[in-house]
Amino acid sequence: MTKFDYKASAELFVAKRPGGTKRPLDYRRFPSAAEAIRFAIEELADMRKLAAYIQVGDQRLDSDAIRRLYDSKSYPLRRPKRTAN
């Protein structure tokens, strides 16, 4: 993936409701892509099942791209510490 601008504003779209019920898209706007990525990873139960994606400028990021950006060393925000089970 080319250099990504985590500071650019972003829009998050969620196409499905948990349990598979159809409804209109949920939409949220974020001041930065980093915040949208954090919300998608840390707050949404399962991005794949919910058909979530983020729009940053002309780029549309699916759940796999969102995960890669969150896991990237260049991701600028703190991640919660993981606990061992």
Alpha-helical (H) ranges within 1-85 are 33-43, 47-50, 63-71
Query: Among the ranges 50-54, 61-65, 78-82, which has the highest mean pLDDT value?
Result: 61-65
pLDDT tens, residue by residue, 14-37: 876 555 556 566 889 999 999 999
More confident residue, 49 or 73: 73
Residue with tokens 């196409």: 15
pLDDT at 59: 94
Give the confidence band of 44 by pLDDT, cuts at 50, 70, 90.
Answer: confident
8 A C-beta contact, residue 44 and residue 50: yes
